[in-house]
Structure 1
Amino acid sequence: MDIRQLDCFLAIVDHGGFNRAASALYVSQPALSQTVRSLERDLGAELFHRIGKRVVLTEAGTALIDPARAAVRGMETARASVEAVQELRTGRLDIAAMPSPAVEPLAAMVHDFHQRHPGVQVRVRAAFTPRDVIGMVRTGTGELGLLTTPGPLPEKEGVVSHSLGVQRLVLLAPPDGPFPAGRPVAAEELAGQRLITVQRGTAARAYTDELRERGVEFTVAVETEHRVSVLPLVLAGVGLAVVTDSWRGTARRAGATVLDLEPDPVLHIGLISRKGQLSPAARAFQEGALTQQHRPG
């Protein structure tokens, strides 16, 4: 059993099948199948049930996922440690990020990192809730995580949280919306409005759910898990949407009205890492992000 075999196994798990995994790895499907069969022979167990063109993990395959990720991550850390001697000229960093902080502050953080280490590829993995981010960091799917939460930053076993400041929630409305630009919108004024909401577990959804608990009645026009659809829906006049302030610039350039909310809801931004040794790329990214956060101006 070698790291290449484990890489192939995880690619099939992550991409949902042999064909997509082969494309992602730039190998032929027969070559990938042969590699997996060799791994199965080494382990003495089948890892996938082949059902027509579909594959389903066996119990043995499920049991292999976490150890395989740990082994691959350990090998990547070893390789990156050697590359650190060459000042991080190559390498890769996986970051699990929720959609809103993936706009900002992540864009500025990646720009700063690439200014210093242009040869290191940054791969951003999608996560939709703080729990998703923590889970991906703990299992090694992402070495670092970026999340927002209305409460204190999480301090769970196996991860460390670093504060990156705060973001605020704002209201998006079409240009001809019900509220005038330039003044905050009180939470109670959302009564009777049509809102576009996102999935549970997010700060924006927690805010709208709290409104309803406080007796502010509104109509849910659309509930979507696709954050990129929120702004087009607002511009189309479908409804209003509560989003983080990181969308302000994009929304205004697109023609939407961005309104502050009253009282002012604040989210805490956290950079999450595993306890223990980080790869040189992750360590450099984390140090740069924290330095940038405390930089004057």
Structure 2
Amino acid sequence: MDLRLVAYFVAVIDHGSVTKAAQALYIAQPSLSQAIRSLERQLGVQLFDRSGRRLTLTAGGRSFAGPARQILADVERARSKAHAVRDLVAGRLELAVLSTLSADPLPELTSRLHRAHPDILVTVLDPGSSSGVVSQVRQGQAELGLTDFPVKSDTLQTHELWDQEIALVLPPDLAAGLPDPVPLEALEDIPLVLESSGSGSRAAIDEAVERSIACVAVECAHRQAIWELVMHGGGATFLPRQIAESELRDVVVRSMAPQIRRAVGLVFRPGRLSPAATAFMNAAEAMRRER
């Protein structure tokens, strides 16, 4: 059904005649009369009684008047919502995030986004690993993925942001006597508290230090529990330096020799991004330039 014809029908009702409706719509009266007849043919019912000196609604016209107004109202609401998304008054973004990036840089990125566009709803998904981030973006469950690099995918596009130093975080008694920075071989004598094997952050750390790890005291799937264990003297762990220095207390943060660094960036499917995703990318790029 042509929505323009529905709007014409409602205009004739509201203005009381074809002549006044045509003047309000800035169209010729014969064109409006023809449009109403076309709508009647599409519906298979006569809407107006033309036998008198003025148009009056038939029973079919009265029955259609309410739904016609509802149709136009629904279309207007849909149009307003679409414009709100386009203009970033509102919108929605599904974001797959590697768990170790949920403390840094996710909070600052979402804060920047919401300062500029407070009505955008960000849904954060936890895929459990870097490969999980890639999978959720590839399958369309998330529009953007925030993960460590390099990313193994031939179908996704990538945008590298910056790299993070991965530091060794120790209780003070374990740090006593250790050189700064800590050489890899010193890890052989340090009990470690690490995320469970197969997690994204564990894979990134193991790649650099696996030959030197001799004592894993605790494996844990919960990031906050790992932090508490380290702060209570249960062992040392690896964390991005910024997180360790801002989130943990009563610990010693040491660089490794050679230094361990991890690249961080965004992955997304080819093609045009939604306005909300574009705004998030812009926030990330602004943050990159300031680092």
Q: Which bin holds the TM-score, normalised by the shorter protein?
A: 0.5 to 0.7
Q: Aligned with 1:191: secondary structure?
A: helix
Amino acid at match of 1:170: A
Residues 146-161 of structure 1 mapped to structure 2, 5 A cutoff? 146-149=146-149, 152-157=150-155, 159-161=156-158
- Rounded to whole Å, the distance in 1 between the matches of 2:204 and 2:283 is 31
Residue 178 (structure 1) aligned with residue 178 (structure 2):
no
Offset, 1:127: 2.5
- Rounded to whole Å, the distance in 1 between the matches of 2:119 and 2:84 is 11
Aligned residue number for residue 230 of structure 1: 226
Residue 255 (structure 1) aligned with residue 250 (structure 2):
yes
- Rounded to whole Å, the distance in 2 between the matches of 1:165 and 1:233 is 29
CA 1:144/1:117 → structure 2, altered by over 3 Å: closer, same or farther? same
- Rounded to whole Å, the distance in 2 between the matches of 1:284 and 1:190 is 42
Offset, 1:92: 1.8
Offset, 1:182: 8.4
Give the TM-score normalised by structure 1. 0.65
Identity rate of aligned residues, in percent? Answer: 28
Aligned residue number for residue 272 of structure 1: 267
Aligned partners of 1:92 and 1:281 also within 8 Å: yes
Aligned residue number for residue 120 of structure 1: 120
Give the TM-score normalised by structure 2. 0.66
Aligned partners of 1:154 and 1:161 also within 8 Å: no
Offset, 1:249: 2.7
- Rounded to whole Å, the distance in 1 between the matches of 2:207 and 2:164 is 19
Amino acid at match of 1:267: R
Over the residues paired in the alignment, what is the CA RMSD in angstroms? 2.4
- Rounded to whole Å, the distance in 1 between the matches of 2:234 and 2:110 is 34
The count of residues paired between Structure 1 and Structure 2 equals 212
Aligned residue number for residue 196 of structure 1: 193
Map Cα deviations across residues 100-143 of structure 1 (whole Å, 9 max, x no partner): 22222222211111111011121211132210101111112211
- Rounded to whole Å, the distance in 2 between the matches of 1:79 and 1:263 is 56
Q: Which has the larger radius of gyration?
A: 2
Unpaired segments ≥5 residues, structure 1: 1-77
- Rounded to whole Å, the distance in 2 between the matches of 1:172 and 1:144 is 30
Amino acid at match of 1:257: V
- Rounded to whole Å, the distance in 1 between the matches of 2:231 and 2:103 is 19
Aligned residue number for residue 38 of structure 1: none
Aligned residue number for residue 277 of structure 2: 282
Offset, 1:285: 1.1
Aligned residue number for residue 84 of structure 2: 83
CA 1:80/1:202 → structure 2, altered by over 3 Å: closer, same or farther? farther
CA 1:280/1:231 → structure 2, altered by over 3 Å: closer, same or farther? same
Aligned residue number for residue 132 of structure 1: 132
